[in-house]
Structure 1
């Protein structure tokens, strides 16, 4: 295989011709022409029918939507950008102190603020850009009283914004809350009728049985961090209703707080233990939990799938022999868990290239060519 260099235009529409794209509505791979203009996907048309003159042959590429990590958490706020891009992560939710809070990736020598007063979104390819606040977050362990929580909720409603509630991440923290309020965090939230659609709940991988029952009928989105001790199988048992109704977001996929071993393992945490025997519907929901459902949990509706009107956040894989023999969501999950993308487009610009440079100053992409 040989390669040629190609530089995408910034002021004109262009196309990736006859490529294979993952369709998030049908959870299937389909061959098409993928049209892009600036930061946006402007068209997905049958293969060979695009009228765009500028572009390249994508017949040897497979395109998937970028993964969304709702809650990187921790002071490292998601790890080095090169790690995030290698995992197909194109949007992250990060701790933020104010609407003007900035985030610079740790491999640039800086970290995010440690005091979490909100969630902002950041793009791994834009290390110096100001992150965009999406909603405020309150931690249950910081509450002085139930009335302080209601005051926070009231202010969020006045501002017309979604709001987040962070549950204790350890049994000790949950126990301390129960001692102060004589009930669990979820029980109090249910009593106050706060498990509503405008809420994103940042929850631990495991819940008490009574909390699972209270959460089963809730309308809120739930973001649950993936860890080596919290497999997809376990999370499906704990948060089955949320996963089934598209209200679950799997997060923490770019975290490095637990060390290098977790960094290497985390993409594989997305694979159920019985991957080959898992029903297609269950795998579809897992894919949604790291793409479209994750975007909704962040109150971001312009990314998470490949369709016109969405941002061009796209992962490009070389179409290796046999890679298309596994189709649908099973193929999507196996691809991102076992391989690095050949390149990553973030808002229409190449942020990662085949030579493994991340956020390069050059947008030149080495195109695979037969020969």
Structure 2
């Protein structure tokens, strides 16, 4: 067969793939796509959503919008994204394992111009969600300047176990109830009209993890500067986000008793405080103008909460003479009986957490 004919045939076929519609690639349209959170742009016009609630937003016209998504990891499994259309949450979408697939988005409004935002519902440790473009007619999008908040934390901050509407606790995969869109950080940010970034990993701690004495697993100080929030330091995070406020909620796992089977040492207050102090210095290194607020945990109560708050006050006291940075604040949650999976907050609990934080964070953001 003539080689020129083969080349032409291949070109024609390639141009009509993706449901026969022209695909707008993920990163070749400049300002027409807005990415937030920890993301990685690939060499083939795709973008990987990495961290919890990392997102892509774009405007489009018309009544049809398909998006091409893929769950990517070292092993094949599904993932989840949450979809927001024209400012309204329209549900969570399961991204099936395997090659990239096309997912139609139901258009539920009559707006002339629609805005779609795809949020990664799962977390960095669940692998990435690759966004490989849309068939929609993409139009210009404006990103207004807003205050910025970074939320550093563990499973609570990820939104683990909070969405039980479709899959009950104790069924499916451990991440089947993840929905970072409804974690307290994104809820609070929407209420305050701020941009946000989640740097969070389930089970992680400041000096040890839920069931590891920092022997086999990395802790937050080990992974924070890495793009994928894991041990891979070949891809550093660029820290271009520059938050006005950094919220740190770590201590639940340091104070955990583990699974009751693996050997667990008594909580080491000195290690926790020392690591916390050094970690704050790392935050300041990358975001020197930020204001830091430390949170206790809604999953820690009684004597453990007393110990946790005591440690957090010690950390703050260590920066008492620091005139270079803004004063570190402390927020203490009211006691809570979490109703999500694995003694985690559910969506309604996260709403209450965000409500508790709202006036406090608003005041901090407005301080000069």
TM-score by structure 1 length? Answer: 0.27
Q: Which has the higher contact order (CA 8 A, sep 6+)?
A: 1
The two structures have a TM-score, normalised by structure 2, of 0.27
User: Whose radius of gyration is greater, 1 or 2?
Assistant: 2
